[in-house]
Copies of this chain bind each other. A is one copy, B any other.
Amino acid sequence: MTTLNHQWVLASRPQGEVTPDNFRLVEAPVPAADQLADGQVVVRHHYLSLDPYMRGRMNDSKSYAEPQPLGQVMIGGTVGEVMASKHPRFAVGDKVLGMGGWQEVSVMDANVRGALTKVDTTHIPLSAYLGSVGMPGVTAWYGLIKIIGPKAGETVVVSAASGAVGSVVGQLAKARGCRVVGVAGGADKCQYVVDELGFDACIDYKAHPDPKSFYAALKAATPQGIDGYFENVGGMILDAVLLRMNAFGRIAMCGMIAGYEGQPTPMQNPALILVNRLKVEGFIVSEHPEVWPEATKELGTLVATGQMKFRESIAQGLSSAPEAFMGLLKGKNFGKQLVKLI
């Protein structure tokens, strides 16, 4: 059994862009099995999930969640295998999902409701519980189903379309009979979104760097206008989408990664919300645990039967986590960003 754990702690808060010196790698011992308190479970992480929400936690500002404390292990979702257990529901060898953080091993109090969940890897790969069948997948499901409420024949647009959330949004909307248009950065991502994920079209925002050019491309791809928009990005893309929204359109605000590093991201013409009688709603998936069973049932079935496709960007080894995270914030990942820890 591993006796040494490595951890990334938050060393300092970013001033604008995240830099490597915002993180510090430290060592920590792993407790022996006979040192565990009742209810404790030791988990060897196989994968760490890197997600845009972590950027917000690095700030010391009012937000929907507590800031990540300085000097503490960075938060993050993990999947792994039980190495030792003093909890009756968890046995050595069980595959589990939890918020283990940016480290190789975590010691979890399995008595805390929801802290540790056993997962079935018979038909679903372990890593998918951090992606399409996990938090990003349920995020996509909630925003699309509960806020946008797509109807067959409507046009749905999603930004960051090749990512962990966007790819699920589009495939769920296609399954509901919508015309689906993605926005992604790069010809390779756009090709993947159309050819592999089955979207009707995808706009490469890097090929349309100015608002006029991007709007023209969006207009061409949405001849019937836009009824639902799943927002992961903000900025110029949101402005262009607003100009294409149909009356009574719905916008699910899930992320605005364009502004995560401090860039201003104004909405140029909010009067369009009124003119087109739009509903714009922000949400955080963790505040809607009631949808988890229904959402993961659908997502798990789609993944297990191969109807839901996904792609992963896998960085190797805990040491690569900061660089992979900084790349994620710049859109360098292609699909769900993970760090492989074994």
Contact = CB atoms under 8 A, between A and B. Distances in A.
Interface string A280-313: 1111100100000000000000000000000000
Contacts of A266: 266-270
Nearest to A247: B64
Contact of A270 (B265, B276, B281): B265
A275 interface: yes
Nearest to A270: B267
A176 interface: no
A67 to B, nearest CB: 13
B267 A253 contact: no
B275 A283 contact: no
Nearest to A278: B282
Nearest to A260: B271
A238 B270 CA distance: 10
A25 to B, nearest CB: 30
B283 A277 contact: yes
Interface string A223-243: 000000001001000100000
Contacts of A255: 274
A276 B267 contact: no
A221 to B, nearest CB: 19
A75 to B, nearest CB: 18
Given A271-B256, A271-B259, A277 B64 contact: yes
A273 interface: yes
Nearest to A264: B268
A208 interface: no
B238 A275 contact: no
Contacts of A278: 280-282
Contacts of A269: 264-266
A15 interface: no
A254 interface: yes
Contacts of A264: 268-269
Contact of A280 (B247, B254, B265, B281): B281
23 contacts: A64-B277, A231-B274, A234-B270, A253-B273, A264-B268, A265-B270, A266-B267, A266-B269, A267-B270, A273-B280, A273-B281, A274-B282, A274-B283, A275-B282, A277-B281, A277-B282, A277-B284, A278-B280, A278-B281, A278-B282, A279-B279, A280-B280, A280-B281
Given A63-B275, A64-B275, A278-B280, 5 more contacts: A231-B274, A253-B274, A265-B271, A275-B282, A279-B281
